[in-house]
Every structure is written in structure tokens, then in C-alpha cells.
Amino acid sequence: MESEGPPESESSEFFSQQEEEDEEEEVQEPEETGPRNPLLQPALTGDVEGLQKIFEDPENPHHEQAMQLLLEEDIVG
């Protein structure tokens, strides 16, 4: 009786190619992310001074975006 499916060598080649494709996708993933939240990193690391600088300095490149995020409302308010 012949076994169903590809022989072992073809099967292992398929899985190794699939792993290579998965690794390539993982490398590209950070570049494809959407808009970045400038408040997230300082908030997660406890960088209170960094957060203050973003909100207090209108010249900060993230000031406008941070203010919009702060004033954003959901259905609850």
C-alpha cells in the first residue's frame, strides 16, 4: 500500500518553506502597524516626566496627537 500524501522529503520541504515565510512576515510586521500612540510607551514604562513633556510642550511633535487622544470620547463619555 502506498501512503497518502507527499513523501517525507517533500513534506519537510513544505514545512521549512512555510517557516521561512512566517519568519519573513514577523520581521515585516512592526513596519506595517497603524498610527502609533505616543503616550503608550511612557505610560507603560512609568515615565511621568516624558508624559508631562508631551502635554506641556506645544513644540513637541506628539503634542497635537496626544491632546486629541486625551479629548477623545466614546459612547460612555
pLDDT, tens digit, 9 for 90 and up, residues 4-52: 655 555 555 655 555 555 555 555 444 545 567 888 999 999 999 999 9
Within-domain flag for 8: no
Q: Give the per-residue pLDDT at 70.
A: 85
Within-domain flag for 44: yes
- Number of domains comprising the chain: 1
Q: Give the per-residue pLDDT at 36.
A: 79
Within-domain flag for 62: yes
Q: Give the per-residue pLDDT at 21.
A: 58
Residue 64 lies in domain: 39-71
Residues 6+ apart with CB under 8 A from 39: 51, 54, 62, 66, 69
Q: Give the per-residue pLDDT at 32.
A: 47
Torsional sign, CA 11, 12, 18, 22: positive
Is residue 59's pLDDT more than 90?
yes
Confidence of residue 55 (pLDDT cuts 50, 70, 90): very high
